[in-house]
Every structure is written in C-alpha cells, then in structure tokens.
Structure 1
Amino acid sequence: MTAHRKTADTLEVRARPRDRTKGILRLGQITVPCALGRSGIVTRKKEGDGATPAGRFELLHVYYRPDKGLPPPTDLPHEPLSPSSGWCDDPAHSRYNRPVDLPFGAGHEKMWRDDQLYDVVVVLDCNMSPAVKGRGSAIFFHIAREDYSPTEGCVAVAPAHMRLLLSLAGVGTNMVIVP
C-alpha cells in the first residue's frame, strides 16, 4: 500500500442557493460540485425522508468495487465490496445502519450496484454510534450520477473528484454539512 499524507481535516458541504439538491463541496482551495438528497439539507434526519443530514461526520471507512479499478488512494481504512455486500436499512432490525451479508431477510440496500454510484463509497459517522432507530441509515459519500441528480440523502461527487478528495483524507477527516 502506498503511503498517503492526510492534509484534509474538513470537507465542507453547502447547498447551492437556488437548488437544494445540488451543492458545493470545499476542501481548502479545492471546490467541486456535489449532489445532495432530494429533500435538501435538514437538521433532523428521519429514515426515508430523502434528506441530507446537517452536522459533522467523520469519514470512517471506504468500500470500493475491485472489478472497477484499483483501490482509491487513501489512508482511510478500506476494503473491497463483493456481490454479497449489503447495508441494513430496517429500523426494527438489530443490524440497523450496519453492513450485512446478502441474502439478508430484513430491509437492506445492495452495495454491489449495476450503476457506478457505489464504485467508491465512504461510510460517514452519521447515526452510527449508537444507531438510533429511524434516524437515518446508509448516509454515505459516494459517486454522483453524471447529471448530479439527487441522492436519497447522501453526498455524491464525480469519480475523479472522489479520488482526489480521498487522496487528501485520512483518519480524523470530517465532512461538515452546513444547513
């Protein structure tokens, strides 16, 4: 593994003034467009509301599709996804807002997708410790659609921007989402 040097303490995310589903992500002098949840940024997140939660969230872990390229350049903990990778989004289940292996009987999201959205996906420390039932799950930092159409509540950027930002991120880097 190549050593990278963490230079990013804070990734700041703000909605664009005239479109709550599109935002600007800043890291020092770097500014890139991003997609936000279909309901914009909110201060009180609820499961299924389509909103991006406001707050400070540490970048915890990176998952990537090994069949789509090399691991992203980062000092963050990272591991490959597999076709059996999932994420529990069922508030009634004990694995709520945690990774799971598929098949999985409760509500879940497939992490191995047919589109590019989860080719690289970063788990944010949003409703993780502890996971409060119904306060939102699977809030990730991931790859955006080409048109930056809204997410279900995540923050998403272009693949090249993701690789650049992750090369500067490390343990202790936070994403601050400003309401």
Structure 2
Amino acid sequence: MEQEAPSQAESTTEDTVTLRPFDLADVDPMTAWASDPVATAFVTWDPYTSREALLAFLRDTVLPHPWFRAVCLGGGAPVGAVSVTPTDDRCRAELGIVLARAHWGKGVATAALKRTVAAVFGDLEGVERVEALVDVDNAASQRVLDKAGFQREAVLRSYCVVKGRLRDMVIYSFISTDPVVE
C-alpha cells in the first residue's frame, strides 16, 4: 500500500520542532499550557493558577529532573513540554507530554515524541523501555503515540484516578530496539 507524502505544513512543522532543557526564563511562555484546564485535562496535575507556583515547579521539579525538555518551534519560546522519568526499575521510564492548544493538530507533538525517542535512550543510562499511559478517552494522544512509533499494548481497567475520577488507561511503549519513525 502506498503511503501518502506528508503535507507541506506537516513537513515544515516537523522540521522546526526542537527540544531543549528548560530555564527559569521559560516561566511566562509555560503559562500557555500549564494554566489551561483544557490542555491539562488528561494530566494528573491541576492547572497552575499563579506565576509563583509555576516558577516554583520549574525551579524545584523541572530543572533538576533528569529528562524534562521544552518543546519549541524553531529557536522560539516553549510551546509545550515532554518528560521521561525513570522508574524504580531503571530499565523503564514514563513519558509525559503537554502542548499549548494553539499547536494541537499540527504535528508538533508527534515530532516532539520522535525526537524524544531518538535521544532519550542515549541520554538516560540503563533505560530500555519508555512507557506512556493515556486515558482511553484521549483519542488525539493515542493517534500521536501511534504516529511516533509507540506500540499500543493493552487497556488497563480502573487503573488510576485523574482529577477525582477512576480512569481506564491505554499503555503504549517504545523500546530501545524499535526503529525511530522518520
């Protein structure tokens, strides 16, 4: 079956997505997604309601984190974040991603995840598997993971509480020997 070539817009977006470590100056652009209840609807944390709280999160959690990256377009300000957090079982790590709504549906998240798996296995010693848990109702994130080369493994029933509701989650994985999707 022939594959359709990516549209010019998708190609351009994918080429301009970069990942970099955060710094304290990123606090203001972070509010575009970190304070948005729609952008954070499927994450386990509540939206940030103050600049001070977000700055404390950036200083105390993001900066010392082993793999927490700003998702940027070109050399610009962050439009999202991706993190890969090693678990107690050092061969596994958990993926998290959030993106400002203005950039949804444009290939930014897919490009960020492709760049993540291309880099993270070399950056985090001993990590052989990256896992992503996605709410069963979050079809858009499931499509992004599929496009980025993650494998859907199972539905975990009544797996966790998100925003006060018991949720079913879909688990995806990418292992170090999986081919990086171009």
TM-score normalised by structure 2 residue count:
0.29
Structure with the bigger RCO (C-alpha within 8 Å, sep 6+) is 1
Per residue, is there more helix in 1 or in 2? 2
Per residue, is there more strand in 1 or in 2? 1
TM-score normalised by structure 1 residue count:
0.29
